[in-house]
């Protein structure tokens, strides 16, 4: 009745048309019959919530959804799993859509930046759609989100012309704007700024331990990520049911497990023989050990401490003082570490995540 190849050619040339619009391009007068044909012969096609049609392989849509108005880390991951892996998708045009009147936790916003920048660096056309939530776009602008988003990423309805983060940097008691991590040398201003804002809420007694956490993690990105894409850090105070400070440190590099496995056979032969290096369980075991037990480094043990290793165990020891919740995302899995009464309470894992390169670490420090 209708030529599916001609339909696909129209959608290839002009993706995002409704059935009536496709019919008009093809000169079809009976639009009702055409729509019925589309639904009955939709293999290789996909339709979004606005009734627009796309080629399945040429268009990728990540709709961020959440049970409440807040989009957190788990909500982001559930949405990404439902949409499929963006980085491995054959689609050239990729859209990330924010829902109506949503609010974005720092952990989720950081993962959007990492994912969008990595996809853009692979040559994909990326769009972030804030049409239904202008207030979220304004908040992210104040946070510095768009300053660290690849310049080739299209922002709808429009990218901010002037950065609110640059205009008001340092003027808020409740946040530290997103800042890039210099991959060439250690920038002490980053952990100092984070620690200053943290101590203003948690108290000066925690200044030293907070600085240790931030300095170790910033240094870890600078020394081990090995990627041209810069890492970044940010901090936000939340005043909800439990007042807490959320801090994220993100990079797009190799990931902790890959870094450790590089010289595992040489420096830790017993551990190497014990693990199946091709399995995700081996990666989870290595990252868990590095975080909670220490003693692992891509450089092995070094008496003069010239090789500082990953420094992750030290950060966890300090985090335990705050009964913190620490979430560490790797390319395809996540570990959640919970501390109570100054001790490690539990570690939970989440496997099979859609790929995001590098390491994203989120600390939630509870103050009440």
Structure confidence by residue, pLDDT tens digits, 142-195: 999 999 999 999 999 999 999 999 999 999 999 999 999 988 888 899 999 999
Q: What average pLDDT does the chain have? A: 90
pLDDT, mean of residues 37-65:
85
Q: What is the DSSP letter of 148?
A: G
pLDDT at position 299 over 70: no
Q: Which among 19, 38, 55 is the end of a domain? A: 55
pLDDT-based confidence at residue 211 (cuts at 50, 70, 90): very high
Instruction: Give the count of domains, the chain.
Output: 2
The reported pLDDT for the residue numbered 13 is 78
Q: Among 11-15, 64-68, 346-350, whose mean pLDDT is lowest?
A: 11-15
The reported pLDDT for the residue numbered 338 is 95
Lookup: tokens for 196? 């200053």
Q: Please indicate, yes or no, if residue 134 is contained in any of the structural domains.
A: no
As a whole number of angstroms, the distance between CA 362 and CA 106 comes to 9
Q: Please indicate, yes or no, if residue 117 is contained in any of the structural domains.
A: no
As a whole number of angstroms, the distance between CA 229 and CA 214 comes to 20
Q: Please indicate, yes or no, if residue 116 is contained in any of the structural domains.
A: no
pLDDT, mean of residues 70-80:
97
Lookup: tokens for 199? 């101590």
Q: Please indicate, yes or no, if residue 182 is contained in any of the structural domains.
A: yes
DSSP string covering 200-228, please? HHH-GGGHHHHHHHHHHHHHHHHHH---S
Q: Please indicate, yes or no, if residue 349 is contained in any of the structural domains.
A: yes
Query: Same structural domain for residues 186 and 332?
Result: yes
Of 298, 319, 120, the closest CA to residue 216 belongs to: 319
pLDDT-based confidence at residue 307 (cuts at 50, 70, 90): very low
As a whole number of angstroms, the distance between CA 197 and CA 186 comes to 20
Query: Same structural domain for residues 180 and 324?
Result: yes
The Cβ of residue 131 has, within 10 Å, a number of other Cβ atoms equal to 11
Long-range contacts of residues 260-266, Cβ cutoff 8 Å, at least 24 apart: 260/286, 260/287, 260/290, 260/296, 260/297, 260/298, 260/310, 261/286, 262/298, 263/298, 263/299, 263/300, 266/300
Q: Are 362 and 234 in contact (CB under 8 A)?
A: no
Q: Which among 19, 34, 55 is the end of a domain? A: 55
Q: Which among 31, 55, 79 is the end of a domain? A: 55
As a whole number of angstroms, the distance between CA 41 and CA 39 comes to 6
State what percent of residues in the chain have pLDDT above 70. 95
Q: Please indicate, yes or no, if residue 201 is contained in any of the structural domains.
A: yes
pLDDT at position 63 over 70: yes
Question: pTM to 2 decimals?
Answer: 0.84
Q: Please indicate, yes or no, if residue 365 is contained in any of the structural domains.
A: yes
Residue range of the domain that includes 44: 4-55
The CATH number linked to 18 is 1.10.10.10
The reported pLDDT for the residue numbered 302 is 52
Q: Please indicate, yes or no, if residue 258 is contained in any of the structural domains.
A: yes
The reported pLDDT for the residue numbered 305 is 42
pLDDT-based confidence at residue 47 (cuts at 50, 70, 90): confident
The CATH number linked to 302 is 3.30.565.10
């Amino acid at each position: 009745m209708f030529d599916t190849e001609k339909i696909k050619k129209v959608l290839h040339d002009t993706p995002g048309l409704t059935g009536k619009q496709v019919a008009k391009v093809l000169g079809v007068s009976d639009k009702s019959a055409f729509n019925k044909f589309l639904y009955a012969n939709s293999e290789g096609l996909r339709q979004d919530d606005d009734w627009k049609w796309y080629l399945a392989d040429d268009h990728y849509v990540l709709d961020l959804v959440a049970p409440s108005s807040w989009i957190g880390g788990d909500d982001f991951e559930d949405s990404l799993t439902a949409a499929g892996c963006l980085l491995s998708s054959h689609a050239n045009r990729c859209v990330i859509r924010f829902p109506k009147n949503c609010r974005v936790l720092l952990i989720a916003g950081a993962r959007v930046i990492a994912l969008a920048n990595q996809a853009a660096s692979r040559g994909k056309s990326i769009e972030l759609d804030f049409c239904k939530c202008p207030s979220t776009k304004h908040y992210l602008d104040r946070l510095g989100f768009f300053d660290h988003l690849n310049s080739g990423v299209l922002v709808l309805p429009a990218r901010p012309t002037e950065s609110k983060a640059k205009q008001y940097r340092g003027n808020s008691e409740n946040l530290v704007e997103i800042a890039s991590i210099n991959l060439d040398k250690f920038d002490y201003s980053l952990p100092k700024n984070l620690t200053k804002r943290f101590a203003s809420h948690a108290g000066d007694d925690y200044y030293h331990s907070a600085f240790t956490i931030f300095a170790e993690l910033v240094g870890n990105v600078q020394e081990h990520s090995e990627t041209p894409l810069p890492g970044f850090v940010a901090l936000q105070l939340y005043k909800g049911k439990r007042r807490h400070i959320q801090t994220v440190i993100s990079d797009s590099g190799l990931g902790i497990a890959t870094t450790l496995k590089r010289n595992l056979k040489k420096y830790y032969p017993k551990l190497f023989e014990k693990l199946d290096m091709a399995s995700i369980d081996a990666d989870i075991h290595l990252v868990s050990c590095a975080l909670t037990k220490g003693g692992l480094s891509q450089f092995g043990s070094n008496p003069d401490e010239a090789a500082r290793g990953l420094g992750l165990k030290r950060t966890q020891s300090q985090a335990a003082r705050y009964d913190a919740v620490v979430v560490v995302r790797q390319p395809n899995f996540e570990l959640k570490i919970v501390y109570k009464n100054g001790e490690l309470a539990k570690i939970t894992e989440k496997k099979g995540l859609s790929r995001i390169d590098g390491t994203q670490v989120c600390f939630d420090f509870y103050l009440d």
